[in-house]
Chains A and B, each alone.
Chain A
Amino acid sequence: GQNIDQPTEMTATEGAIVQINCTYQTSGFNGLFWYQQHAGEAPTFLSYNVLDGLEEKGRFSSFLSRSKGYSYLLLKELQMKDSASYLCAVVDSNYQLIWGAGTKLIIKP
């Protein structure tokens, strides 16, 4: 079957760095998305990786290793507003989008 694994919850300190991992087992691969979702709000797009390597966007970076079926989202200089759920989603070979359950990130002062 198809599976996306992310930690359920993580806690980090304001100003620190946190890495949220996502591993996937899917029938083929056509890209991986990261979305941010604040409580009570709709998800918003963060990043899209289809090639191996690191993509940096300000305080957020996303990494992909297709051979390992692995991605991570790196958040630097954490701010209280980064407290949210982070959703990993993979496009498989049939162009179906498979969503992870999300990682709830709690930022403490």
Chain B
Amino acid sequence: GAGVSQSPSNKVTEKGKDVELRCDPISGHTALYWYRQRLGQGLEFLIYFQGNSAPDKSGLPSDRFSAERTGESVSTLTIQRTQQEDSAVYLCASSLVDRQETQYFGPGTRLLVL
């Protein structure tokens, strides 16, 4: 497909379990972003990948959160030992080059931690 895809679309997990969320950016986009959005709230920046540069991890809320990206393709966001407060929609976006470019968002993964 032409857009950003994310999987799974929905995830229900028990408190304390680890989860892995996947993002497939638009082909050719070197920049990739992860955001968290709690119900009724704005976007919360988590992490930014730009080409082969070191990622900007300044938004990760705790050391339970980590993300990887393989080259300029797929990224995975991992949340270890999930907590109920982690329940949110996790959005991935990609842009052509950098933060000055339009971001195209995926549909998000809705995570519910019981």
Contacts and interface: CB of A to CB of B under 8 A. Distances in A.
B98 interface: yes
A43 interface: yes
Contacts of A35: 103
A99 B105 contact: no
B107 A41 contact: yes
B36 to A, nearest CB: 11
Contacts of B25: none
Contact of A42 (B45, B56, B105): B105
Contacts of B104: 45
Interface residues of B, number: 18
A43 B100 contact: no
A41 to B, nearest CB: 7
A96 B33 CA distance: 11
A97 B45 contact: yes
A63 B62 CA distance: 37
A61 B8 CA distance: 36
Given A41-B107, A42-B108, A96-B56, A87 B102 contact: no
Contacts of A31: 100
Contacts of A96: 56, 99
Closest 7 CB pairs of A and B: A101-B42, A42-B105, A97-B99, A45-B102, A99-B43, A102-B42, A95-B99
Interface of A: 30-31, 33, 35, 41-45, 48, 50, 87, 91, 95-97, 99-102
Interface of B: 33, 41-43, 45, 56, 91, 93, 98-100, 102-108
18 contacts: A30-B99, A42-B91, A42-B93, A42-B108, A43-B43, A43-B91, A43-B93, A43-B103, A43-B105, A45-B102, A87-B42, A96-B99, A99-B42, A99-B43, A100-B42, A101-B42, A102-B42, A102-B43
